[in-house]
Amino acid sequence: DKDMIDVVDVQESGAVGNPDPREVTETGTGVHIALIDTGLGSDWRDVLGDDKVDVALARSFVEGARTANGLSVGPEFPNPLPGNLWEHDFCLHGTAVAAPITGMTIGSTRVDGVAPGAKLIPLKIIGNGCTSFSLTGHNPQSTTSTLSRVLAAFDYLIGLKEQHIIGPTILSLSIGWRRRPLAEIGINAVLSAGIIVVQAAGNSGELGSEVYPQVISVGSIGWTKQFRPGTLASPDRDFWWTQDVGFDPDPVSGPDESSEAFVSIFSSRAIPSLGQELDLLAPANHVVLPVASVSGTSFDSVGGTSFAA
């Protein structure tokens, strides 16, 4: 099954970076979105906007140092570290996850996200190495230690909610893990606190993923016209990056969107035998997002269910 989010009667402006006026009024204003990820890059204010992050609530649960092979080092922290270690990530995975939510500035162009009025709470649980965002590694000690950071971040977020420091809150998870009782206990505690959990389905393709059924799992889709005849080897970016997708929410008056969309080859599918569902599909196939470069932050084509979530 393919689930699409339809917005009725969209009036297309056609201008790149100019958001379409919509009949829905929700902008995310008054909502916090916590990102358990790598934190943000040091120039996040230029990329996301200096009003998009609740700086007072952002925290790091891991030291920013890394070893030669990219793995984070340092002890585990049951409590968040003081200071602003969360905003010195040079991997930029967390920044790329944040950009589709609140929007980003590319050169002189501002592109709004799906919730430009929301406030982000970056919770850094991965060191500055950019080698893995999975808790399913072959090193049990590394796996356990990373899970402890996630659980510490869960506990911190639940505390903010129970103390009424934050109101309506969504937790965005772009990390993968094998099913284990301790992880599910943590997820259920977050849900019991009244926090909505949205998790990337993972990039394992037909192998599926093991996202818990009680969270909102998100896979990735692309647009068929990214790959026009004669350009099948790679996306025809000069064409499609400047085009309106043209999905019509009314299949009577135009083509149904499912006829122009495809599930990304990397996107994990559901595993019915494990009770794991795939709830939503969102664009994350060769999308423009901030990436790390020698000179700092640049923008390039990336893909992954992290950005769909």
Tens of pLDDT along 24-42?
567 899 999 999 998 999 8
pLDDT band at 64 (very low <50, low <70, confident <90, very high): low
pLDDT digits over 213-258, tens only? 899 999 999 887 777 655 555 666 666 666 666 555 555 555 666 6
Mean pLDDT computed over 184-210: 91
- Give the span between the Cα atoms of 298 and 289, in whole angstroms: 8
Give the side-chain half-sphere CA count within 13 A for 88: 9
Segment 257-306, tens digit of pLDDT? 667 788 999 999 888 887 777 899 898 988 889 988 777 788 888 899 99
Quick one: three-class SS letters along the chain? CCCCCCCCCCCCCCCCCCCCCCCCCCCCCCCEEEEEECCCCCCHHHHCCCCCECCCCCEECCCCCECCCCCECCCCCCCCECCCHHHCCCCCHHHHHHHHHHEEEECCEEEECCCCCCEEEEEECCCCCCCCCECCCCCHHHHHHHHHHHHHHHHHHHHHHHCCCCCCEEEEECCECCCCHHHHHHHHHHHHCCCEEEEECCCCHHHCCCCCCCCEEEEEEEEHHHCCCCCCCCCCHHHHCCCCCCCECCCCCCCEHHHCEEECCCCCCCEHHHCECCCEEEECCCEEEEEEECCEEEEEEECCHHHHC
The pLDDT score that the predictor gives to residue 308 is 95
Mean pLDDT of the chain: 78
Q: What is the pLDDT of residues 154-175, one digit of tens each?
A: 999 999 999 999 999 999 998 8
Q: Give the confidence band of 17 by pLDDT, cuts at 50, 70, 90.
A: very low
pLDDT, residue 200, reads: 93
Residue 131 clears pLDDT 80, i.e. is over it? no
Judge whether residue 139 has pLDDT over 50.
no
